[in-house]
């Protein structure tokens, strides 16, 4: 049964009202024609119940903008959307092309500051996976189990000669009846040698959803987070507060070890009573034991990051020394499930 705007419809009944379902929901493929996004493919997904988001097959199938009932949820930095041709992997360039978006995937061979890897190669900030076009991408919109499903899939490979061969297969789907994105990632080691990887899901929230009205709920069990920088150290008692923009305000990064439920799933809820909407980020903690929280209330760069990860964003070399880099046996696969759900308060 399809639930649409508070009413239930069978497949047959909905078709009686709609000559073409795409007038309500669907996936539209486009190509950006100007600015730094020029030439980049995009998939706009509308589920008909209030969820509207854009996927980027040329950026590892990351999520660009996302809105719920016409209200913007995600972050877009001053850089705007940048095609992979504008993402030069050279020192200092990350700050020139990081777009934010609703989701930027970080990894697979670095998370955190740029460094030189064990092969003498430059590893730029937060790795390469979000700057690589998908080798394969496809999508469909169709009825399934009497609901209307919108689904996009992709295959992206992060490789280096005589080093590693990692493949990320991604599926992002939503239903007409539910304002929820379900993300399933499979990371496969296609090499004949064991390797390790770092992974961080950089969910980014921006105005107007992000404001001083926003409430952050993380299942911490009453434990304070660990600070990554000095400003975080000084604001441990107010880690869950958002203030209005402040000129030249420092950013804070906190590390949480949230408590999952009985199924090993952790859910972070962000709620804005002034807008009467909320967003829940849920993920399986088996492969993502750490949660990073990035808060920046600086004027003109107002942002909040909720970042499930398998590391503490210190670069591959240090993560290996600390024993956090995730080992993936030759031919092995790790499957990771996450979701982002929008709801009314």
pLDDT attached to residue 143? 93
- pLDDT tens profile 251-294: 999 999 999 999 999 999 999 999 999 999 999 999 999 999 99
pLDDT attached to residue 197? 97
SS3 232: helix
CA dist 197 and 208 (Å) reads 35
**DSSP code of residue 267:** E
pLDDT attached to residue 117? 87
Q: What is the CA radius of gyration of the chain?
A: 20
Is the preceding peptide bond at 327 cis, omega within 30 degrees of 0?
Answer: no
Strands 303-309 and 195-205: antiparallel
pLDDT attached to residue 252? 96
Per-residue pLDDT band for 317 (boundaries 50, 70, 90) equals: very high
In the block, tokens 């005589």 appear at 162
pLDDT over 90 (residue 110): yes
SS3 263: coil
pLDDT attached to residue 120? 86
- pLDDT tens profile 181-223: 999 999 999 999 999 999 999 999 999 999 999 999 999 988 8
Q: What is the mean pLDDT of the chain?
A: 95
């Amino acid at each position: 049964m399809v639930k649409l705007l508070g009413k239930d419809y069978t497949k047959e009944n909905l078709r009686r009202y709609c000559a073409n379902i795409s007038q309500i929901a669907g996936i539209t493929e486009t190509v950006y024609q100007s600015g730094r996004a020029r030439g980049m493919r995009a998939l706009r997904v509308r589920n008909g119940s209030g969820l509207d988001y854009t996927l980027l097959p040329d950026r590892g199938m990351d999520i660009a903008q996302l809105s719920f009932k016409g209200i913007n949820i995600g972050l877009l930095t001053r850089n705007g959307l940048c095609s992979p041709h504008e993402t030069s992997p050279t020192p200092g360039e990350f700050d020139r092309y990081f777009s934010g978006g609703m989701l930027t995937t970080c990894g697979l061979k670095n998370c955190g500051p740029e460094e030189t890897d064990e092969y003498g190669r430059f590893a730029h900030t937060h790795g390469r996976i979000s700057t690589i076009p998908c080798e394969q991408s496809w999508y469909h919109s169709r009825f399934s189990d009497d609901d209307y499903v919108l689904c996009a899939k992709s295959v992206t490979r992060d490789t280096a000669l005589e080093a590693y061969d990692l493949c990320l297969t991604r599926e992002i789907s939503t239903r007409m009846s539910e304002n929820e994105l379900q993300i399933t990632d499979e990371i496969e080691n296609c090499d004949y040698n064991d390797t390790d990887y770092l992974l961080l899901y950089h969910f980014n929230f921006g105005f107007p959803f992000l404001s001083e009205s926003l409430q952050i709920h993380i299942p911490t069990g009453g434990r304070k987070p660990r600070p990554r920088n000095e400003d975080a150290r000084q604001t441990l008692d107010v880690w869950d507060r958002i203030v209005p923009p402040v000129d030249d305000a420092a950013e804070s990064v906190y590390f949480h070890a949230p408590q999952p439920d009985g199924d090993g799933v952790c859910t972070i809820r962000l709620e804005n009573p002034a807008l009467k909407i909320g967003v829940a980020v849920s993920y399986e903690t088996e492969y993502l034991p750490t949660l990073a929280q990035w808060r920046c209330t600086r004027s003109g760069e107002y942002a909040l990051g909720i970042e499930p990860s398998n590391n503490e964003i210190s670069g591959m070399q240090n993560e290996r020394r600390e024993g956090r880099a995730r080992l993936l046996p030759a031919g092995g696969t790790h499957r990771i499930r996450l979701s982002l759900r929008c709801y009314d308060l």
